[in-house]
Homo-oligomer: A and B are copies of this chain.
Amino acid sequence: MLKKRNVMTIGTLAKTAGVGVETVRYYQRRGLMSEPEKPYGGIRHYDEQALARLHFIRASQWLGFSLDEIGELLTLQDGAHCDEARELGEQKLTSVRRKISHLQQIEQALNELVQKCSAGHGDVYCPLMASLNDGVEDATTDKHKVR
């Protein structure tokens, strides 16, 4: 007979994976993890597969995938849908690169402002504030949403 090793309760599972119990239950409700059957009137137990699933989810999140996207990735797991997975990865890569360049623009603008503030200047005049009042050069001229 099979010897089940590393059988855990939800609390142990969660702690091992470094998440909260409520988070595991939340993932179950979202359909990202299945809820194991519970023995009559007892407590559900989780095995290493559940732990692996949790690791998968956290790794994907770290890469910037949303829980919905992770759901998609998970449907690709059974079977060799490598192309679809790569496609999702490429889309994410593109969006990550967009975010980086956006943040780099901000970094530059902010850096300039702070520099100007540090170089002394007459009182009752603050370069940072002045720029904010004028709209940080062409920052607000591109009308796309900030969110």
Contact = CB atoms under 8 A, between A and B. Distances in A.
A97 B61 CA distance: 20
A136 interface: yes
Interface in A45-88: 52, 55-56, 58-64, 73, 76-77, 80-82, 85-86
A14 to B, nearest CB: 13
A146 interface: yes
Nearest to A70: B132
This chain's copy number in the assembly: 2
A63 B110 contact: yes
A9 interface: no
Interface in A12-69: 18, 52, 55-56, 58-64
The contact size tier of chain A is: 35 or more
Interface string A106-140: 11011101100110010111111101111110011
B97 A100 contact: no
A117 B86 contact: yes
Contacts of A136: 59, 62-63
A135 B129 CA distance: 45
A96 interface: yes
A111 B63 CA distance: 11
